[in-house]
Structure 1
Amino acid sequence: MKISDVRASVHRFETRLPLIHNRPAGDPMRVCCEVETDEGHIGVGMSARFLCHGVAACVNHHLRPALVGMDPRNLEAIHARLQPIVSERGQASGINLAALSCVDLGLWDLIGKAAGRSVAQLLGGHRDHADVYVTFGFGAYDRDQLVAVARDLIARGHSRLKMLVGVAPGGIREDAERVRHLREALGEDVLIAIDANESLGLEDALQLARMLEDCGIAWFEDPLHRNDPRDMRLLRQRTSIPLSAGQMDGHSERFRHFLEHDAIDIFMPNSLFNGGMTETRRVAHLAQIYNRPLSDAGGGGIYCLHHVAGFRNGTLAEVHLGVEQVERQVFEHAPEAVNGRMHVPDAPGFGVTVDRDALKDSLVRGDD
């Protein structure tokens, strides 16, 4: 089996926030990468959000020529060939890493389809499902809207919720009041986590954590500017709230730095941005070695579901209200969470089939 073609394209999908229908629920852009073999297998991978046309161009003009003719199952050989292309020296980042991510995810999808196994099974097959949390608490909502959307999610069977901080016009004190209002409205039985999207300085993050320590916060995600491991360590030493990170640069070297500084509690790699499932597998093994739980953040959707289900230290997969809407458009019969749990699809690879009409309708050309 040999790779016969690799192609990437840019797509835009419309999303809307519940209650505020004129506001998008996250970034609408996706890069879709298809890897095809001479035996007719096609694997589909994705990346998202940043400089999408650059990512697609990197795949089409730089990675494709290196991949054609290779056996897609030889992942180490493939990465050895691609590494000097995406980064001649040091750790790849940005467009380079996103391009590698969508190609690698396409390879895993293809390998699973050829083998008749899901990616979760290829990773170890610990479970056929993952419990989920829902990212819903966007800054566009006022306090009462936060509660209304949360109660709707609870009525749909969810009991684990994540809201954003670092988004309130009044600063961290207002952030804390929003979180506390939600906790008081929902009671103690609902898991609440917070996510700053790397928006806070150390002192603000520390003050916010102190304000919320009596609210039973499950984790504080991406709390600091650039998630500097030294500052993350100081924050972790001064709060009882577990810290998590890994959404945008969650490659193995980054997690090694967190571990060397004793700066993190929960690993949250996202295969759409960190170099793909091959890199997430390295991160997962590192998490196992250091007895850290493995979760998911940043809109990985169906792709990240598989690493949470596949590894025995997997804990929670993310359901993001915007990503959920995108996946319902781009995939036929995309899996949905039922009573706070999402099952890995029975089909091989990532278990989903692309809606070709949706891809055609959502295509963004380079001059659009």
Structure 2
Amino acid sequence: MKIKDIRASLHTTSIEIPLLEGRVSGYGREEQKLFVVCEVETDEGITGIGLTGHFLAHSVVAALEKHFLPVVRDMDPRDLEAIHQRVFAKLNPRAMTGTVSMALSCLDIALWDIQGKHAGRSVAQLLGAARDHAPAYVTFGFPQYDREQLAEAARLHVRNGFSALKSVVAVDKGGWREDAARVRVIREAVGDDVDIMIDANYLFNPVEAKMLCRAIEDCNITWFEEPLQQNDARALADLRRSTRIPLAAGQMEGHRWRLRELVEKQAVDILQPNVTYCGGYTEARKAAHLAQTYNMPIANGGGWPLFNMHMMAGLMNGWIVEWHLGMVSVGESIFVDPPRPENGVIRIPDAPGLGLTVDRDGLKETRVEG
């Protein structure tokens, strides 16, 4: 079997957020408008699909079609180590991240989809088949909510079967004090038996993060995700020593060496390799195995649950999938009847590969030219 073509395209969508009127531009934050889809075609007629997010999306499309395809054309899509080795040698000998990592992620996901379809096994099974399911948490706490809406949205998702919720912090004009108040609103709304996570998306400096941690330590937070600017491993380790709240990070890191730094510096309690950004399943699996040697769980941050659920189910230390409402909306737009959590648990489809059926009309309707 040989790789014959890579077709990459830009797409966009808007989402509906519960309790807010109308649709919200982008699928999470205002800048999250674009995403990239690639399809890899083989000479045996098996096609795989991959996806990555909005960062420099036009460049990712060009990288896949103009640079990656000439490097991997006619290689066997199952020879994943050989493909990654050639990509590093030809396109990334200095181990950079950014566009090259996202393009590699998109390609690698599609290759695992092909491999699973050829073998008649799901990607989760190929990764190790630790489980056929994974728990899910819902990322619901968008900054567009006022406090009253935030509380009602939290109760809504608990009624819908979720027992773990995540909210965004570090974006309110009121600063960490308003964040602390919003966290307390969520805790009061859902009681003590629901997990609450918070995510700063790299936006706090160390002092602000420490102040917020101090203010909410009695709220029993399950984890504080990517609290610090630049994902600074040294500063994260310092913050981790100063708080009882577990720290999680790694979702936007572009390869195993950046993820290794978080582990070796004891900067996090939970590692978050995301297959759509770090180099795909091939690279994420290496980070997950590293975490295993430190008795550390991996969890899905950075969204794209339909892809990351295979990591969480397939690997021994896989934990929980992020049911990010914006990225879920993307999946609903481009796939036919994709899996959904029931009572807070998502099950891996019985179908081989990713287990996803492409909605050709959805791809066409969401496509952005140029």
Q: Does 1:199 align with 2:200?
A: no
Residues 66-119 of structure 1 show CA distances to partners (whole Å, capped at 9, x for unaligned) of 111111111111111111333231x22111111111001110001000100000
The structure 2 residue matched to 1:130, chosen from 114, 130, 134, is 134
- Equivalent residue, structure 2, for 1:156: 160
- Equivalent residue, structure 1, for 2:68: 63
Contact 1:86–1:97 (Cα < 8 Å) also in 2: no
Instruction: Tell me the CA shift for residue 136 of structure 1.
Output: 0.7
What is the rounded CA distance, in whole Å, between the counterparts of 2:225 and 2:45 in structure 1? Answer: 41
What is the rounded CA distance, in whole Å, between the counterparts of 1:263 and 1:363 in structure 2? Answer: 39
* Equivalent position SS for 1:354: coil
Q: Does 1:243 align with 2:247?
A: yes
User: TM-score normalized by structure 1?
Assistant: 0.97
Alignment of 1:135-150 (within 5 A): 135-150=139-154
Instruction: Tell me the CA shift for residue 357 of structure 1.
Output: 1.1
User: Aligned partner of 1:38: which letter?
Assistant: D
CA RMSD between the two structures: 1.0
- Equivalent residue, structure 2, for 1:18: 18
Q: Does 1:263 align with 2:267?
A: yes
User: Aligned partner of 2:63: which letter?
Assistant: C
Contact 2:101–2:255 (Cα < 8 Å) also in 1: no
Residues 226-265 of structure 1 show CA distances to partners (whole Å, capped at 9, x for unaligned) of 1111100100000000000011115321121112211110
* Structure 2 stretches lacking a partner, 5+ long: none
- Equivalent residue, structure 2, for 1:54: 59
CA separation of 1:242 and 1:3: change in aligned 2, threshold 3 A: same
- Which runs of structure 1 show a deviation greater than 4 angstroms over 4 or more consecutive aligned residues? none
The structure 1 residue matched to 2:238, chosen from 234, 237, 244, is 234
Instruction: Tell me the CA shift for residue 23 of structure 1.
Output: 2.4
What is the rounded CA distance, in whole Å, between the counterparts of 1:66 and 1:275 in structure 2? Answer: 16
Contact 1:250–1:270 (Cα < 8 Å) also in 2: no
* Larger mean Cα displacement after TM superposition, 177-186 or 216-225: 177-186
Q: Does 1:305 align with 2:309?
A: yes
CA separation of 1:204 and 1:55: change in aligned 2, threshold 3 A: same
User: Aligned partner of 1:87: which letter?
Assistant: N
The structure 2 residue matched to 1:221, chosen from 209, 219, 225, is 225
What is the rounded CA distance, in whole Å, between the counterparts of 1:227 and 1:206 in structure 2? Answer: 15
Q: Does 1:341 align with 2:345?
A: yes
User: TM-score normalized by structure 2?
Assistant: 0.97
Contact 2:14–2:24 (Cα < 8 Å) also in 1: no
What is the rounded CA distance, in whole Å, between the counterparts of 1:7 and 1:129 in structure 2? Answer: 31
